[in-house]
Amino acid sequence: MELIVERIILSSRWLLVVFYLGLVAALALYAVSFIYKFYKVAIMVFTYDEADMILAMLSLIDAALVASLIVMVMISGYENFVSRFDEADAEVSFLGKLDSGSLKIKVASSIVAISSIHLLQIFLNTQQYTSEQLMWATIMHIAFVVSALMLGFLEQIMNRLKK
């Protein structure tokens, strides 16, 4: 009985593939969205002033960071929780070996980068926001930064305890 339960639990990790394939589909949809954003920027390139162009570029950078975050979660999540990439090791070596702690730190760092871009976009458009909205955006960004720092600090403590 114990062996059957263990096999069922171990085999259940393959259910995660549904989530990773869903992220692949989401990434494809996001790529279409990116192409549409890029198209809008391209047709407006001669009418945008410098501030509008900077905001448009920040939006494209933000989209690239989000897409990179999706790829990072898909690849490292699959490798950590489902199965190793057999013959494609050279293709995913750019990620390094990410355990769940390292993945959390990379995700948190990506969230901080994305939040930084959003905050910069807000500060470049301060006339469209109330002071309360500016305050809350800044507080949320600080919360993301503190969370990322705390995750990094906890990971260092865990690595020291392992040695």
pLDDT one digit per residue (tens) for the chain, 163 residues: 888 999 999 889 899 999 999 999 999 999 999 999 999 999 999 999 888 899 899 999 999 999 998 998 898 888 878 887 776 555 655 555 666 777 788 888 889 999 999 898 898 888 888 989 999 999 999 999 999 999 888 888 887 887 7
Query: Residue-wise over 44-81: b if at least 16 C-beta within 10 A, else e?
Result: eeeeeeeeeeeebebbeebbebbbebbebbbbbbbbbe
Amino acid code (one letter) for 152: G
How high is the pLDDT of residue 78?
86
Q: Is 112 exposed, middle or buried (0-12, 13-18, 19+ CB in 10 A)?
A: middle
